[in-house]
Chain A
Amino acid sequence: MQKYSLFNLVKNAFSNHQNWDLAWKDPTPKEEYDVVIIGGGGHGLATAYYLAKEHNITKVAIIEKGWIGGGNVGRNTTIIRSNYMHDENGLFSEFGMDLWRKMSQDLNYNVMFSPRGIINLAHSDAQMNAYARRGNSMRLNGIDAVLLNREQVKEIIPMADFSENVRFPIFGGLMQPSAGTARHDAVAWGYARQADSMGVDIIQNCEVIGFDVSAGKIKGIRTSRGNIKAKKVGLCVAGSTNILAEKLNMTLPIETHLLQACVSEPVKPVLDKVVTFGAGHFYVSQSDKGEMVMGGDLDGYNSYAQRGNLPTLQHVLTEGIAMMPFLSKLKMLRTWGGIMDMSMDGSPIIDKTHIEGLYLNCGWCYGGFKATPASGWTFAHTIAQDRVHELNAGYSLNRFSTGHLIDEKGLGTKTWIS
């Protein structure tokens, strides 16, 4: 593989950049693989990369219905954080933060990781207490957290509404300084390029139409480009999890819902943090191009549409304007939607299944993008070793039966409001 470096950049300039290698190949599916990963999104690509890198398993295929990076890894708001209260989520995400910090070097691909910090705003004394508790839990798990009072928040984000007679006054906030953003597409492409260079077959435009299971053991998959034998199969398909689960006669604690996001026209640098509104569900950051990147609530009913409806967008942006009134002056540039695999406790599932050789990675709700490296790393471990790593032991499929839920927000099973 050609290394991306200043030297190679200069060298290729002499041939007008016509001779760069393809970043990844377009192979035809082989008859058999050791591991087949279904889903060429961030998590699937990362899983294949760590299978090759950490476990030396390279007879691997990624099967993608469309094109790689065309689903949620290309549709998110690029936020990376580990500001969780529960140990399972905190330790898992903080492990991921380490991988994020090293990712550009590790992948030889600039993922533009920008640890600019995230502030969750608080709008009442009770919320300040809850944030103090969460911040303490984070610090006990080695995650950086700073509780800010109103004046401190005002110093960092003076453009927020600090006037006296507002419905939701800002009392303060909880900041994780090491949180941030990254270039989402580069994450998918970086993982794809490295996985490909280690021998992984990235097979696009190939839809899975069925599974071959006999005597409780996975034997292979049936696809639109023929049957493929596999010793192990990993499902990494986010919002399409239920569709594939149905083909396996599995019913999962997952519902598919639609989440929208939008960006404004680009403006000069105004906001150097990720900020979330605490009296509703709205978050905003500014991209390197200057666009304000915004998002919030689910559309609120089961959906596979990958496009949203206006009432939710209007509701979310109303919250945004309540938090930062200047946003009302901006023109909207783009809106889009992606389908989320909403789990019943708001936490993911990375586990084995009752079918030998079949592994499940789903339930990422809103938080899939930031989990990309940690999810890939632990899922690769789970597949390669046929046992869960301690980092994803809590993300078991049977926790719903045993009562070991990880309900970070305490919202229960109404996935469309969580």
Chain B
Amino acid sequence: MLYINCPHCGMRSQNEFSYGGDASVKRPELNKEVTDQEWDNFVYNRKSIRGKHLELWQHISGCRQWIKVERDTATHEIFRTFKADEEVA
């Protein structure tokens, strides 16, 4: 069982959360020419890191906010959590 520290609600079990994938993926900016390669990278291509992975989760059975979680994909250790709009240093 993972325990995720929701920045809004505190420590909760993973059963309250739903996964949202790699948080480092950025949608190409609007109002500018976007190449096919950029769209591919946004929609399909993923690094799928082994180690520290920044990812989106939604606290679906809690505050329903999207949050960012920094988690190790090999050990499941969770290092830090952030609000969705928080910059990750």
Residues of A within 8 A of B (CB): 242-243, 246, 251-256, 300-305, 309-311, 344, 400-401, 413-414, 416
Contact = CB atoms under 8 A, between A and B. Distances in A.
Contact of B14 (A254, A309, A401): A309
11 contacts: A242-B49, A252-B45, A253-B45, A253-B46, A254-B46, A255-B46, A256-B48, A300-B19, A304-B50, A305-B76, A414-B21
A301 B2 CA distance: 11
B1 A310 contact: yes
Interface of B: 1-2, 13-15, 19, 21-22, 36-37, 40-41, 43-50, 53, 55, 71, 73-76
Contact of A400 (B44, B53, B71): B44
Given A242-B46, A303-B73, A311-B14, 6 more contacts: A254-B46, A255-B46, A303-B74, A344-B44, A400-B43, A400-B45
B72 to A, nearest CB: 9
A302 B22 contact: yes
Nearest to B15: A311
A301 B19 contact: yes
Contacts of A256: 48, 50, 73
Nearest to B2: A309
B1 A309 contact: yes
B15 A253 contact: no
A124 B53 CA distance: 40
> Which residue, A252, A254, A301, has most C-beta atoms of chain B within 10 A?
A301
Nearest to B39: A401
Contact of A401 (B15, B22, B36, B75): B36
A301 B37 CA distance: 26
A416 B19 contact: yes
B77 to A, nearest CB: 11
A310 B75 CA distance: 15
B56 to A, nearest CB: 10
Contact of B1 (A246, A300, A304, A311): A311
B48 A255 contact: yes
A243 B76 CA distance: 17
B73 A400 contact: no
A311 B19 CA distance: 14
A251 B2 contact: no
Contacts of B50: 242-243, 256, 304
Contacts of A243: 50
B14 A400 contact: no
Given A311-B15, A414-B21, A303 B46 contact: no
Nearest to A399: B44
Nearest to A314: B15
Contact of B73 (A246, A304, A311): A304
A251 B46 contact: yes
A243 B53 CA distance: 14
Contact of A301 (B15, B36, B55): B55
Contact of B48 (A300, A302, A311): A302
Nearest to B13: A311
Contacts of A414: 21
A242 B36 CA distance: 22
A383 to B, nearest CB: 24
Nearest to A251: B45
B44 A304 contact: no
Nearest to A345: B44
Nearest to A405: B44
A57 to B, nearest CB: 31
A246 B19 contact: no
Contacts of A254: 46, 48
Q: Which 4 A-B pairs have the closest CB atoms?
A: A253-B44, A242-B48, A251-B45, A400-B44
B74 to A, nearest CB: 5
> Which residue, A304, A311, A344, A416, has most C-beta atoms of chain B within 10 A?
A304
A243 B50 CA distance: 7
A244 to B, nearest CB: 11
A246 B76 CA distance: 21
A305 B44 contact: no
A242 B73 CA distance: 13
Contacts of B71: 301
A413 B1 CA distance: 25
